[in-house]
Amino acid sequence: MPIVAHTDLPAFEQLRREGQVILDPDRALQQDIRELHIGLLNMMPDAALAATERQFLRLINGSNRIAQFYVHPFTLEELPRSPTIQAHIDRYYQDFDQIRAEGLDALIITGANVSHPNLADESFWMPLIEVLDWAIEQVTSTLCSCLATHAVLQFRYGQTRHPLPDKRWGVYPHRVVDRRHPLVDDVNTLFDVPHSRFNEIDREQFAAARLRVLVESAEAGVHLAVSEDGFRIVFFQGHPEYDTVSLLKEYKREVTHFATAQRDTYPPFPEHYLGSRDRAILDEHRERVRAARERGREPPPFPDAHIIPDLDNTWHDTAAGVVGNWMGNIYQVTNNDRGLAFMDGVDPKDPLGLGR
């Protein structure tokens, strides 16, 4: 069964408007189906907070129909928020202490914006480590996205991310390099994943940490890896949760930063994302923006309506397949109690029976 709208989080209603099935709590109670409780630690900045909610809820809801999914969003109070977003958090998000007391079957940790080269200097570092320490001991499996992956590699494995020469930004082809793992069972062996980052953990660092790499790209590096036991921690370095228009919105934001002199250079296109017609439209727009900036005039409106119809999504189905496999295996190795409660005969050090 799908996600249960157990709160009035606005994302639930938006997903309904998209045509997705979202269960009301009363109807959910009538179903004799297992519950899975999934935490969503949303560390994204204000502008992306609600979109990130929807993206991960959509990915979870489209993954499979084996259980009723209850999603529990929370964040870290050390992250600066505007009054409007703080009001949203106060109304719709849960407190970590409550989540810790009630337990989770699974946890997703999003990326975040950072302001220091060393993640340990961020104000949210120690609170994040507290959540991660608890999750690794008490939650069946934790899925780390982008910045969260870099944080775990640093604090748990001593592998510090390093800056890239240029921002890795676009949609890149990836190949499954370890087909034996259940997370990549019955998914395409060649598929795309969006990336958007200035730093990375490379293949050699994943190997030094003795992590198992499942999916990587010749251009974009490692995307999907798992912890030594094969399941306790799942690492995404890309952004398979992205909407079709997510990279276009990022590009538009950077164009606006150039137009308002918040950046000196005009942003490049996200790689492997735009067709030749769209690039031509945006090339013309660039010249108009530059002219407006030189003359101190208002920039022309961004041509969203001309670009969006041409965009293709070449990653969501495979992302949903991977997340569905993740959910399915959590369902198999947990019992009806929340937290790290394995069924009889399941080895916590090797929950999927990988024999490693």
For 22, 109, 326, 332, the CA distances from 315, given in Å and listed in that order, are 23, 20, 17, 26
Residues 6+ apart with CB under 8 A from 151: 119, 125, 128, 129, 132, 144
Alpha helices in 139-270 (DSSP H): 147-157, 203-208, 246-259
**What digits encode the pLDDT tens for the residues 155-190?**
999 999 999 999 999 999 999 999 999 999 989 999
Q: Crossing angle of helices 276-294/246-259, nearest 10°?
A: 20
284 is catalytic: no
105-348-144-273 Cα dihedral, nearest 10 degrees: -100
Decide which of 18 and 180 is more confident: 180
Q: Say which amino acid occupies 4.
A: V
239 is catalytic: yes
0.85 exceeded by pTM = yes
From 239, 250, 285, 316, the catalytic residue: 239
From 122, 146, 150, 174, the catalytic residue: 146
Mean local confidence (pLDDT), 45-74: 87
Enumerate the domain spans of the chain. 10-242+314-333, 246-310
Mean local confidence (pLDDT), 48-61: 91
From 200, 241, 250, 254, the catalytic residue: 241
Cβ atoms of residues 246 and 328 within 8 Å: no
Mean local confidence (pLDDT), 320-327: 92
**What digits encode the pLDDT tens for the residues 71-129?**
999 999 999 999 999 999 999 999 999 999 999 999 999 999 998 989 999 999 999 99
What mean pLDDT value characterizes the chain? 90
CATH fold group of domain 10-242+314-333? Rossmann fold (3.40.50)
